[in-house]
Amino acid sequence: MKKGISVVAGLTLGICVAAQAGYRTEATVTPGAEAHEYVVQFKIMDVAKDGKAKVLSAPKIVVQAGKEGTVRVADEQADSGFLCTALVNETEGGIEATTALVVKEKGAEKLSTAQTVTLRK
């Protein structure tokens, strides 16, 4: 698993990246429109053997600091899809963002990953 931190023009607070079994996932955390609000953008990609990536889904959720947010993207039978969760806690020196993602195909779990990134002010 890879982890990284990115700051872009003061807007992007953090990015978590994980790759496994043909999937690559990212979660970017940025400040929201309101105080103590954060936007978490997930990106789930299928990476081919030649390295080309196809975006399968890019769900976005808005969370309040200290409250977990969840988004589920599933097919009609709900035996395949993605479950994304995010929790952003404000600390004295910055924020701590925890993101988790589960990918299921035909009822079988293909990927389960979680990252915690602490970002200082």
Using only the alpha carbons of the chain, give its radius of gyration. Answer: 15
**Would you say 112 and 102 are in contact if contact means Cβ atoms under 8 Å apart?**
yes
Model confidence pTM above 0.85: no
**Would you say 28 and 40 are in contact if contact means Cβ atoms under 8 Å apart?**
yes
31-51: per-residue pLDDT in tens?
A: 999 999 999 999 999 888 887
Q: pLDDT tier at 17 (50, 70, 90 boundaries)? A: low
The residue with greater pLDDT, 58 or 1, is 58
56-89: per-residue pLDDT in tens?
A: 999 999 999 999 999 999 877 768 899 999 999 9
Q: Is the pLDDT reported for residue 115 higher than 70?
A: yes
